Amino acid sequence: MAAQAGVGVASLVSRNEKTILPEWVELQKKAGILHTGRISEGELQSQSRNFLHLLHEALTQGGTDTSGAAYEPARAMLADLSRTRALQGFSPSETATFIFSLKQPLFNALNRDGTLSAEQIASTVSTSTALLDELGLFTLEIFQKSREEIIVRQQREIAELSTPVVKLWEGILALPLIGTLDSQRTQVVMENLLQTIVDDEAEIAIIDITGVPTVDTLTAQHLLKTVAAARLMGADCMISGIRPQIAQTMVHLGVELNVISKASLADAFAVALRQTGRAVVKTRRIEGFALPGKKSGGQDA
Amino acid sequence: MPTTKTDRVAIKISDDVVRVRQLTRALSVEVGLSLVDQTKIVTASSELARNTLDYGGGGEVTAEIVEQGGRRGVRLTFEDKGPGIADIEQALKDGFTSGKGMGLGLGGAKRLCNEFSIDSRPGEGTKVTIARWK
């Protein structure tokens, strides 16, 4: 039964391919797919032609069972198309229109076809509607999945990108934290900092939280653990960039950071230089004249 | 006390805690709270949302803009159907925790707000309401 219905649709497609294809492409163009500028007319033509061809093959061989093996090539092509469109930034409806806009040309062809009885027309309409709906949903599912993959990848990128450890001077590291300190990112932060302390043989690490919008007890706990781990490795830690509102909030929360903390990274850096026996000295801008033995910047004392 | 705006956020995963913070910040800005007060209630919301998630097994927050006698404020109600708190006085004490946290969240949230009330029955769940007025 299913195979018979499939053959009905298949023969309809093969008999009317010449009219279905241009009508279908025209409908997609009317839906504004070309205005997005993400796809050329040529591409649209070839995608539509390919799919119609694959659909015809599948219908002839496998009837209307879209999960069957005969539909494998058609599904693969749709999956590829959805994935590409998700990456290119198409909206879900722009992507699903590819399939759903095929209905109208198919029904038009059915109307023009004089050889079918009313009963046959009705059954072909219901079969092809169910078929295209299934394929349309499949497209959307793949589209959604691709978008989720993109989000997961971006999350991972953000987690790694936003935690660089910066070397300020010989033995002095800075870790400018930005954004939310949820536990997964804190793990990356900890590992980065501890590894860099080893690699650079750092004595002092400054954790700057200017870019952290909220410091709650969990964030504070993560910070303190990071500080404790750095201490165990022989590096002193400082926390800088505590804004007034954060300071007040932390006092109310009752959180005590038992580390040297400074309002700005510059202040913390100055302390770090002092602790490592260095100083920043101002020079006068007179040519041929400099304070004895010093240049600007923190030269070793 | 008339309510001019109500939002609800489900707290099911740790990303929801971030959403609660963002919603609280948006409402505080709308009410016109000062930067310090904004930070206070956002931090309190973060603590309570995490409690709802970690100890209450997930729940829901109702965030409202409320008005009373010409003053506007933000009110948040956190509700869960978790195990509840047997000894509220002990739970509010600094340094006490039944989990792995610092034990400062609940008491801290109380200190960060103008109004704080907690209603909890063992086996039935917990409801915490906080408000910060302009």
Comparing CA positions, the residue from B94, B103, B95, B109 lying closest to residue B49 is B109
Within a domain: residue A291?
Answer: no
Q: Are residues A225 and A100 in the same domain?
A: no
Which residues of chain A lie closer than 8 angstroms to B41, CB-CB? Answer: none
Q: Give the pLDDT score at A289.
A: 59
Residues in chain A: 301
Model confidence at A293, pLDDT cuts 50, 70, 90, reads low
B38 and chain A: CB distance < 8 Å anywhere? yes
Average pLDDT, stretch A169-182?
Answer: 86
Closest chain B residue to the Cα of A221, Cα to Cα: B102
Q: How far apart, in whole angstroms, are the C-alpha atoms of residue A72 and residue A77?
A: 9
The confidence band for A102, taking pLDDT boundaries of 50, 70 and 90, is very high
Mean of pLDDT values over A38-57:
89
Helix (H) or strand (E) holding A283: none
Residue A31 lies in a domain: yes
Pair B14, B51: CB distance under 8 Å:
no
Q: Tell me if A254 and B50 make a contact (CB, 8 A cut-off).
A: no
Task: Name the closest residue on chain A to residue B105, using Cα atoms.
Answer: A217
d(CA B21, CA A213): 10
pLDDT of A290 higher than 70: no
The CATH number linked to A26 is 1.10.490.10
Q: Is the ipTM of this complex over 0.90?
A: no
Is residue B93 predicted with pLDDT exceeding 80? yes
Query: Is pLDDT at A139 greater than 90 in this prediction?
Result: yes
- The verdict on residue A71 lying in a domain is yes
According to the model, what pLDDT value does residue A300 have? Answer: 46
| Domain shared by A124 and A175, yes or no | no
Please check whether residue B86 touches A, CB under 8 A.
no
In this predicted model, which residue has the larger pLDDT, A3 or B106? B106
> What average pLDDT does the segment A47-62 reach?
88
Q: Is there a single domain that holds both residue A14 and residue A144? A: yes
Domain boundary among the residues A128, A154, A180 is at A154
Determine, yes or no, domain membership for A53: yes
Mean pLDDT of chain A: 85
pLDDT in tens, A211-225: 888 888 888 888 888
Most distant CA pair in chain A, distance: 106
Given pLDDT bands bounded at 50, 70 and 90, which one contains residue A4?
low
Which residue does chain A place closest to B46, by CA atoms? A216
Domain tally, chain A: 2
Residue to test with chain B: of A151, A217, A255, most B Cβ within 10 A: A217
> Is the Cβ of A180 closer than 8 Å to some Cβ of chain B?
yes
Residues A189, A239 within the same domain: yes
A197 and A114 co-located in one domain: no
Residue among B21, B40, B101 whose CB faces A249 most closely: B40
Q: A139: closest CA among A191, A83, A196, A185?
A: A83
Element at A163 (helix H, strand E): none
pLDDT for A60 equals 86
What's the whole-number mean pLDDT along residues A145-168?
83
CA dist A169 and A173 (Å) reads 7
**Domain, as residue range, for A98:** 2-154
Whether residue A280 is predicted with pLDDT greater than 90 in this model: the reply is no
Backbone angles phi, psi at A31, to 5 degrees: -70, -5
Inform me whether the pLDDT recorded for A298 exceeds 50.
no
Is position A297 within any domain? no
Tell me which chain B residues have a C-beta less than 8 angstroms from the C-beta of A249.
Answer: 36, 39-40, 43, 112
**A57 and A117 housed in the same domain:** yes
Given a cut of 60, whether residue A182 has pLDDT beyond it is yes
The verdict on residue A219 lying in a domain is yes
Q: Does B43 touch chain A (CB under 8 A)?
A: yes
**Average of pLDDT values for A125-149?**
91
Measuring CA to CA, which residue among A267, A257, A269 is closest to residue A226?
A257
Return mean pLDDT, chain B.
92
Domains delineated in chain B: 3-133 (3.30.565.10)
Nearest to A229 by CA among A202, A178, A180, A193: A193
Residue A73 shares a structural domain with residue A197: no
The residue-averaged pLDDT of B54-62 equals: 94
Average pLDDT over residues A123-143: 91
Q: Is residue A301 part of a domain?
A: no
The pLDDT confidence band at residue A189, using thresholds 50, 70 and 90, is confident
The number of C-beta contacts closer than 8 angstroms across A and B is 65
